[in-house]
Amino acid sequence: MSDIDTLISKNNGSLEDYNAALSINNNEDIEDGYYQVTIDAVFTCFATESSGSTPSSWYYAVWLDDDSIAILTTDDKETVKELDRICDDTWAYLNYEADSFTLEPCTLDISASELIKDSELGIMYKQSLEKLGITDDNFRIRYSTLSTKPVDDLLSNVIIGAVIFLIGLVCTIVILSMIMKERENKLSGFDTPVMADADYSQPMTPLVTKSEARKRMTDSIIRKSYNSMIKKAAFCLVAIIVCIAIPGGMLIYNQHYSAITNGSVNRFDMTNTDGIDNVKNNDAAELVITKSPSMIYSYNDNNYYLVENEHSFIAIMDNEQYTEADTSVKNTGSYKLVGYLEAPSNEIKGKLKDYFAINSDEYDATYGKYMLHVQNDYNGSGFPIEKIETTAIFFGIIAIFLLYFGIDYIVKSGLMLKKLSYLSDASYAQMEKELEALGVRKYPQNLYLTENYIVLLHSFSAYKDNSKKENDSLFINYHDITWMYPSNMTQYGKTVNSGITVYNKTFGAVSILSLPTNDFNQNMINEVYNIISQKNPNILLGYNDENQKRIGA
């Protein structure tokens, strides 16, 4: 039995009445928990929470039996209709259009919890009540949230969501394991000649250093492939420096600007409507307000406030800036906001127009062309600190990707030299010569079959396992290959990728070709497979237990 079921059973089939609980507790705040509340008076729906363009939750200021105010939130559209009806009836009574509150109150099962007073919801709640003339002087304003979605339901949803996630994760792991196992079990496709006297246990040894391997490269396709990777790595390095330099340069510019202006900033007075055409985005600005800011919208960590003196404007502030402005206006009657001009995006402007229920011309005439983005230390340069931070995050993410690819190119170019170091000068010269010959066979993913060598150069393919650096390059004589097998990938019993893997004790298993399965590609793969097996009749063919034991893999 759940907690809420236990409470219901203790109260003779229903939850404890919230209004009664307040009365028993001398109208002091009561413990968070499950209750039943009857609503017969609603002041306003002061906020909604949207999922996309459609509201998903509604927040109401409700009038309780002890003349206190609390927040009621719901995500049920039928409940919304009831509360809207009660709200209309409440104002009909307050405007002397009816003799009593609603004749059809709404009874709801709710979970009560405390609301943080300085939260965005708390601020909007307080401001909405102040607009209605409701203050701590004439009502008791409770910072309590009554939710029609009980906490145990929320907890159940979280638990259910977590269980579903874990099940999905386990299923994904199991499916991937099955796919990989199926792939291993489906690799065999060709007969295997067995060499009784072959020794597959001895690895090769390098014949030259990596530096010497690099120096002996001529202006061949091998040199071009190596240079291409080095250039890409260098490009990544330069791009990383640029990514760091851009936000760094913006900060240095700000410091330099602050130094040459000696702290003196020429700020545009937003009440100067005649000069509005002579300013632009990010220009320093100021505005003296005589009324407390009123939050009207929150989006992407930006809170949009209506600020007023003899004119009305939109200002972007955080909670700390709002509190400072609100306190100053209440204590002294005014407050100076400083920051920079920011033209609202089409999306933000559309939201604000919807809030005020006006068109574009009316918006510009009433609230102006620019908003004031409050930033007390803005020195008038073209780079507000928020935009520097956003720029730094954006280029930081790019720099991380560039670092990954840069390191990848460096590692793969080094591995390429290492594999070339196993060839003698004479063998390397012969391989380069064969690469330039007319009879060389070229295949996708930079695979070349010469008279005596397999040459695999760097390439990127969505059908190839690019994460395994050993698959990036290979330079080997046909007779140095000990094992070859089809590396087909199957999913749900269907082959989706066909390829070839060759094995050597020194280099391990290297996928030299991997293509989507179709007749054309399969004929190409069969051709490569047959050429290599003909060049080295002693090679072990096929993926099976016997060959794995022979190789020791």
Structure tokens at 441: 């066979």
Can you tell me the distance from the alpha carbon of 338 to that of 287, in angstroms, rounded to the nearest whole number? 7
Q: Specify the DSSP element, H or E, that contains 184.
A: helix 151-185
Tokens 């496709």, residue located? 189
Are the C-beta atoms of 43 and 129 separated by less than 8 Å? Answer: yes
Three-state secondary structure call for residue 299: strand
Residue whose C-alpha is closest to residue 315's, from 324, 326, 302: 302
Q: What pTM does this model have?
A: 0.51
User: Which two three-digit tokens encode residue 343?
Assistant: 């033209």
Other C-beta atoms lying within 10 Å of the C-beta of residue 220: 14
Determine the Cα–Cα distance for residues 7 and 9; give it in Å rounded to an integer. 5
Other CB atoms within a 10 A radius of the CB of residue 394 amount to: 13
Report yes or no: 36 and 11 within 8 Å, Cβ to Cβ. no
Low-confidence ranges of the chain (pLDDT < 70): 1-14, 27, 51-53, 149-166, 168-204, 255-264, 300, 379-382, 465-467, 469, 553
Q: 359: helix, coil or strand?
A: coil
Token code pair at residue 124: 């909007």
Specify the residue for token string 């105010």.
69
What is the torsional sign of CA 152, 156, 159, 161? negative
Cα torsion 497, 502, 506, 507: sign: negative
Three-state SS at 346: helix
HSE, side-chain direction, 13 A CA sphere, residue 273: 9
**Exposed/middle/buried for residue 311 (C-beta within 10 Å: 0-12, 13-18, 19+):** middle
Q: What span, in angstroms and rounded, lies between the C-alpha atoms of 172 and 162?
A: 15
Cα–Cα dist 427/476, whole Å? 10
d(CA 14, CA 528): 78
